[in-house]
Structure 1
Amino acid sequence: MSSPEQHTDVAIIGAGPVGLFAIFECGMLRMKCHVIDALDVIGGQCAALYPEKPIYDIPGYPSIDAADLIERLNEQTAPFSPVYHLGQQVVSLSRAEGDRWLVETSAGTRINAKAVIVAAGVGAFGPNRPPLDGLEQYEGKSVHYLVRRRLDYAGKRVVIAGGGDSAVDWANSLAEVAAKIMVVHRRAKFRAAPESVARLEQLTKEGKVEMVVPYQLAGLEGTDGTLTGVRVATLDGDEKVLDADVLLPFFGLAMNLGPIADWGLNLERHHIKIEQSTCATSLPGIFAIGDIATYPGKLKLILSGFAEAAAAAYSAFPLVHPGEVLHFEYSTTKGVPGAAE
């Protein structure tokens, strides 16, 4: 037996930072929101993958941990009383009567909305795992793909593999608490923010980080899931062993759009193509924002997603309040109203 439909103005798919800010922007325009996320907590990757990772490019915050950013956004949405449906994956998106949309979840929840904003990040995500023999016995014990608490690594010998932002940022951060940090990368150039790379280079000069370049992971040593060493090798086959307690491989996330791929949206390389100025997709009344959205010149930054959230909310307004003229006002002029009517 189907659950009764719950009616709302906007259904937001994804409760990451960009989805949370979309709640605020919709609320400022008197639009109620229901929010669905497959995780059982709000925050998306910020909550699930790196809650203690410092973020440096949020305006007004020289540095803010991911978990703190989510808490601030949660406070910002509170006046608008969003309804959350957590631990549920959207399995179906279909047309409803009166140009509305029906969103159905894995838990049987049915949400009837005038507009839908897809803020699903990279879709369902999981780590890219290094191809190492016997890796499974170490995963969750000595090999981890995310850092939940920095203090878990206090006094430990940590090998970090990778050359992107996660590898560089965590090397910089964990150098403050770990006994030793070793960074394994196949080349001397890193694909990370220049300021972060400069900081890593300074920590290397100070002897707080050891650069293991140009090497790549070759094997693990230890027993019963307890790591004692990480074997690394050059492209020429020269090997050495790094004494280690922990391996953190940061090789990015494997994306899986899941049911989104079957919704009839215009896709490009596992992303949803949108009109940049409105964030509109190829389906009327459906908008996409954040990492899942793409357009020429797209920057995959949280702050870009915030701007897209505002654009999507303003684009959705005529669907929620047809015939009503929207007079643009700055928040400093009108303030933050109470819960959306």
Structure 2
Amino acid sequence: MAELPGLGASGVTVDTDVAIIGAGPVGLFAVFECGMLRMRSVVLDALDAIGGQCTALYPEKPIYDIPAHPAIDGAALIEKLEAQAAPFNPLYLLGRRVEKLRQVEGGWELGSSAGDVVRCKAVIIAAGAGAFGPNRPPLDGLAGYEASGAVRYLVAKREEFRGKRVVIAGGGDSAVDWALSLKEIAAKVTVVHRRPKFRAAPESAARLDEAAARGEVEMAIPYQLHGLEGDGARLTGVVLATLKGETKTVAADFLLPFYGLSMELGPIAGWGLGLERSHVGVTPATCETNLPGIHAVGDIATYPGKLKLILQGFAEAAMAAHAIHPRVFPGEALHFEYSTSKGVPHSP
């Protein structure tokens, strides 16, 4: 992963060939396709880790329609895509949302919520269903614990929870999957849910019940999050409450609220793109939008016959990269070559 050049209080200012909005699987593959054509990439994402929905929603759920992988879980797919993009040394700007887009001489300029300025010759929007943000619990002092990492909305490094006391709140797949995973390494895992029935896959919910029966996981049902205890940064306990107002405190080092993600186009909706029911209309052969040099790929892009599959997003990333090449290298003929013939070029 590239180091941030000139990082300051107002973010970074960087010039690149292609700016990629979205670090999900299609955005990561776009880095590879651009790199194969000797084009440099900067990747921006609102989440604090790469991977998009694969990381935030189903890191341990198997995906069955990735070619050459009869089954691969979301986290493993992202790990392989990151490794595939690594030779091209992309710069990842994470935990910030792209808020501004304006045309400048020679291309486009993007501005982020962190004050970053990215100047590029072309843009690939691979933002899935738009910007993701966690649904946060309404708890006093939450921001301080978020800043310290004591409260998190996704798990980037499982090992950070080894020997720790972890409270997981929620009743969906993410909550159940991570409870099953972290019980193997955490000192204690407590699952908080307002009712006994979970919305997770039945097999996973059954495994959680079995783990609870063996004493491997503590179930706090029917409870909801009520408060946080600690010094404002270091967490020591999570206060739980029933609908009747009964409360209890669970000792904790980390709180993982898995209440899903809110998804919206956000500032993208105001950029003058041809929107069709919250999706961006593109020309199928190039994935270019109505704005020259702005391309959209993956779930956010739409055209007749579009399928919302990761593998189709991969193909769109390749088409967009080839369409962008003349903007980055004007006057240079692009002779199509297979990767088996050309190999992987050196980092651009």
TM-score (norm 1): 0.69
> CA, structure 1 residues 185+294, in 2 after alignment: closer, same or farther (shift >3 Å)?
farther
Q: How does 1:194-233 map to 2 (within 5 A)?
A: 194-213=202-221, 215-220=222-227, 222-225=229-232, 226-233=235-242
Alignment-derived partner of residue 178 in structure 1: 186
Alignment-derived partner of residue 5 in structure 2: none
> CA, structure 1 residues 146+178, in 2 after alignment: closer, same or farther (shift >3 Å)?
same
Q: How does 1:158-169 map to 2 (within 5 A)?
A: 158-169=166-177
CA distance in 2, matches of 1:132, 1:41: 21
Match of 2:121 among 89, 97, 112: 112
For 2:227, what is the secondary structure of its paired residue? strand
Alignment-derived partner of residue 57 in structure 1: 63
CA distance in 2, matches of 1:195, 1:24: 36
> CA, structure 1 residues 174+319, in 2 after alignment: closer, same or farther (shift >3 Å)?
closer
Alignment-derived partner of residue 9 in structure 2: none
> CA, structure 1 residues 92+176, in 2 after alignment: closer, same or farther (shift >3 Å)?
same
Q: Is the 8 A contact 2:141 2:228 kept in 1?
A: no
Match of 1:241 among 225, 238, 248: 248
Deviation track 1:151-205 (CA, whole Å, cap 9, x = no partner) reads: 4434444321112232122111111123332322234443434553343243234
CA distance in 1, matches of 2:236, 2:307: 41
Amino acid of the structure 1 residue aligned with 2:101:
L
Amino acid of the structure 1 residue aligned with 2:319:
Y
> CA, structure 1 residues 330+34, in 2 after alignment: closer, same or farther (shift >3 Å)?
closer
Amino acid of the structure 2 residue aligned with 1:34:
S
* Aligned residue pairs, count: 318
Match of 2:313 among 308, 314, 337: 308
Q: Is the 8 A contact 1:15 1:119 kept in 2?
A: yes
What is the identity percentage for the equivalent residue pairs of Structure 1 and Structure 2? 46
Q: Is the 8 A contact 1:90 1:103 kept in 2?
A: no
Cα root mean square deviation, aligned: 4.6
Alignment-derived partner of residue 343 in structure 2: 336
CA distance in 1, matches of 2:249, 2:314: 45
Q: Is the 8 A contact 1:22 1:310 kept in 2?
A: no
What is the CA distance between 1:71 and its match in structure 2? 5.1
> CA, structure 1 residues 6+297, in 2 after alignment: closer, same or farther (shift >3 Å)?
closer
Q: Is the 8 A contact 2:22 2:52 kept in 1?
A: no
CA distance in 1, matches of 2:14, 2:48: 23
Worse-matched range after superposition: 152-161 or 168-177: 152-161
TM-score (norm 2): 0.68
CA distance in 2, matches of 1:193, 1:323: 52
Q: State whether structure 2 residue 165 is matched by structure 1 residue 129.
A: no
- Residue ranges of structure 1 left out of the alignment (5+ in a row): none
Worse-matched range after superposition: 173-182 or 68-77: 68-77
